[in-house]
Chain A
Amino acid sequence: MAKKLISVKVNGRVHEKAVEPRTLLVHFLREELNLTGAHIGCETSHCGACTVDVDGQSVKGCTHLAVQCDGSEVLTVEGLASLAKDGGALHAVQEGFYKEHGLQCGFCTPGMLIRAYRFLQENPNPSEAEIRAGMAGNLCRCTGYQNIVKAVQYAAAKLQQTEKVNA
């Protein structure tokens, strides 16, 4: 199958690669770029383990072609820590998941984190019901979600606090 040359900016770095048009974004990230944080948990676009941020939107990387991302900016879990607004080693959502025990096996975690990162920009001060609805594209088998809600609440509070300090 003829390959197509694409240029994608991932976590701030431009990658030029030749890919088959049928290559899914999640395979492109995992196989071509070795960014293996994003995972694959289904083939019907339900689980959201492959969630990455493409041009400011949460996207399921298994339901997106790599060639569609030519010229796009992609953020994966590996790039999240560098976006910490308070100069810390971790982004607020990562810190929240750690502090609130929002992960066990860790397989859904990269997708959850990337979704939470975008969700908290869409809705900086969400209610519990809004968090549950806003994160509903991401399945978890370990946590029962309750601590993930707490983790997102932790991150929301932390981001607001950081914003106040920066302002």
Chain B
Amino acid sequence: MNAPTDPKVLERKDALQGLGDSRLRKEDARFIQGKGNYVDDIKLPGMLHMDIVRSPYAHARIKSLDKSAALKVPGVIAVLTADDLKPLKLHWMPTLAGDVAAVLADGKVHFQMQEVAVVIAEDRYAAADGVEAVVVEYEELPVVIDPYAALEPGATVIREDLAGKTEGAHGKRDHPNHIFTWDAGDEAATNAAFAAAPVTVEQHLFYPRVHPCPLETCGCVASFDPVRGELVTYMTSQAPHVVRTVVSLLSGIPESKVRIVSPDIGGGFGNKVGVYPGYVCAIVASIVLGKPVKWIEDRIENISSTAFARDYHMDGEIAATPDGKILGLRVHVIADHGAFDACADPTKFPAGMFHICSGSYDIPAAYCQVKGVYTNKAPGGVAYRCSFRVTEAVYLVERMVDVLAQKLGLDKAEIRRRNFIRKEQFPYKSPFGFEYDSGDYATALEKVLTAVDYPALRAEQAARRADPNSPTLMGIGLVSFTEVVGAGPSKMCDILGVGMFDSCEIRVHPTGSAIARMGTISTGQAHATTYAQIIATELGIPSEVIQVEEGDTSTAPYGLGTYGSRSTPVAGAAIALAARKIHAKAKKIAAHLLEVGENDLDWEIDRFNVKGDPARHKTMKDICWAAYNNVPAGMEMGLEAVHYYDPPNFTYPFGIYLCVVDIDRGTGETKVRRFYALDDCGTRINPMVIEGQIHGGLTEGFAVAMGQQMPFDAQGNLQGNTLMDYFVPTFVETPHWETDHTVTPSPHHPIGAKGVAESPHVGSIPTFTSAVVDAFAHLGVTHMTMPHTSWRVWQQLQASGVAL
């Protein structure tokens, strides 16, 4: 249908505030008046507070635990240990990665800050006093921090509970500290490509352990009603339905009597996907005590014990021709997963979607292998806008392409141009088996290079390099990434056996407003606004009166939650298709009311017109009313629909990012002069909201690349696990962002939309590294390990002999 031009029709379209409109957010009214409802705002009658006794050691046996003094602290009600959980078989719990994790340490601690006991008290102050009063005696054990050392023969065994198990959830284990080895691609073909290639490069790349650090930490209020036998738990969960299923399986309470509610969540960023021991303990305590129990962790606990991100030690290799055409890619990764493998992934993908690491390039042969290893650290790995390890994959390939360009003396934009998958090659089958849906990389690259006047930047850099007295080094970073989001097709993707579909249920009321619920859950991404916009355009109902709700498992349809930028690809599709079911019924009602055939009707914004006679029409509002009092004979009354969407493929948004940095040769401080980010996520539902996601993601990328890290000392102490050291940029450090876009819709998605929220994080991090390394490229530097802090960059200045 052609876009309407009649001003009156356009006015009706604008009134909908639908697809493509930068409409203001429906969520804001409550948040700007302090009327959000986050977990710690919840108060229930008789509610108690729980706090956790944590391990001061990274690896130690628990010789004794004395709770008697804690029980005497005024206000303390109970102290629970692993012994209290054992009869319920809850001292260990299953993880999304198919391993188990200790809920409360069972005779031994595996990482510092691990949960050892819980104290339940009348308020949080008394609970904190109680924690201080619990006396635990430890016997220290040798600590394993380095994942390479963990795999050495005779290395200290971290997981004694797995003794004798040579088979894990993901195949053979060849060492007690080995979790899995997973690979993808064609190893023989790749080795052959390397054997024959005239040019090869290799580079070791470490992607440091960082933490998503949402401003609101994790927490819950568990409330078991012993009279009704029902459990209600409000929690910071990005996947409440999955949690309900898991809680039901573990507790034996039927799923129909378990209600998990994710209320407003103060940011998730992948940190709030999994189940933490705190949730389990609060639920057990509530069942035992018959009262609501609240648990809210503090920042140090959040950074130290909840899902970290990255920690991939990667060895990349590229085979190529002398003119820069890539012939092969080979990657070996050692993945540090901490003490328990709780890495949040679809069950068949222990290294997530790392095999997207062939990137935006047409590479004929590729192979990757990832080996997961236990160490004395907290569990995690997948979090922080990673799209299931796509951060690592994109970092790997983008760094390697830079290394190759440098070796061949090719410009880093030119080498990308020469290797891009061309527009006409889509849908493109990657050497790892992904089928990229659509893309136009070359056009986007030229747009960015023109916008920043790339040749002028290179000329300025050349002049600066020619001047030995220049006080700063100038670096230009460039990344052209392809994302994979929208997990995912149920044939490939499941979470603990549940296919990774998602869902929407829309119910239209007699007076023309509607309520809609989905199986996803926003943690700030504005679903209540943008989902309503999709429905508004599909049904001709203003988004303002479409009420969107998520997060309550007793009301919302079952879904897999929000992570992996999957909401738009999966739930977004379910929304459009549910709306189209309603639309089809509405058309039948309209035909009945107008006494014409369905084929005689045209849909126009918010109404069905009789073809050739638009004066005869029925608006959606008319139809809503009729649905409740005058439907065609034999038709069910009412106007509502549900759709569960199993996606045929992922969506593959892409982006071209460019960054210019100036490095102070005296101090090593890096100043971001310019950052230009072009993102293409297909059809854009709400450009204002997309822009906000980009700004946030780029800022995270800046934090990861330039300052964040989680170092452990030789004793396994986690250093810098508070905001005293853990770098979260303020207004002052955060650069100004320039954004741009192109539109290459997903052909398989009902509205052509792709996910986008993780793109800025995924893409920006290698862009920063690319820029910092580029500043040293003329000195022969091929790579520098993040974070690029002043101290670390100054060390490189020293090593390269250019420090002032």
Chain A positions within 8 Å of B, measured between CB atoms, are 20, 22-23, 27, 30-31, 34-44, 46-47, 49, 76-78, 80-81, 90, 94, 97-99, 101, 103-110, 113, 131-133, 135-149
Contact = CB atoms under 8 A, between A and B. Distances in A.
Interface string B513-527: 000000000011110
Contact of B298 (A20, A43, A143, A147): A43
Contacts of B699: 143-145
A47 B692 contact: no
A44 B724 contact: yes
A143 B692 contact: yes
B125 interface: yes
B526 A141 contact: no
B692 A42 contact: no
Nearest to B264: A106
Given A141-B215, A143-B695, A149-B731, A105 B524 contact: yes
Given A44-B723, A101-B688, A107 B300 contact: no
B691 interface: yes
Given A110-B31, A141-B213, A143-B695, 19 more contacts: A30-B40, A37-B36, A40-B40, A46-B728, A97-B28, A97-B32, A101-B24, A103-B25, A103-B31, A104-B525, A106-B27, A106-B31, A136-B730, A136-B732, A139-B723, A139-B730, A141-B696, A142-B692, A142-B696
B215 A46 contact: no
Nearest to B523: A105
Nearest to A49: B215
Nearest to B760: A144
Contact of B267 (A31, A40, A78, A105): A105
B34 A78 contact: yes
Nearest to A137: B730
B498 to A, nearest CB: 26
Contacts, number: 176
A107 B217 CA distance: 11
25 contacts: A30-B40, A36-B34, A46-B728, A76-B34, A101-B688, A103-B32, A104-B526, A104-B693, A105-B266, A106-B30, A107-B36, A107-B214, A107-B266, A132-B734, A135-B731, A136-B731, A136-B732, A140-B215, A141-B269, A143-B695, A144-B698, A145-B734, A146-B695, A146-B734, A147-B691
Nearest to B303: A42
B228 interface: no
B68 to A, nearest CB: 21
Nearest to A149: B731
Interface residues on B, range: 35 or more
A101 B32 contact: no
Interface in B588-624: none
Contacts of A99: 24
B160 interface: no
A141 B728 contact: yes
Contacts of A138: 730-731
B270 to A, nearest CB: 12
- Of listed A94, A103, A138, residue having the most chain B CB within 10 A: A103
B582 to A, nearest CB: 30
A47 B215 contact: yes
Contacts of A80: 33
Given A139-B730, A149-B731, A98 B34 contact: no
A22 B267 CA distance: 29
Contacts of B723: 42, 44, 46-47, 139
Interface in B254-306: 264-267, 269, 298-300
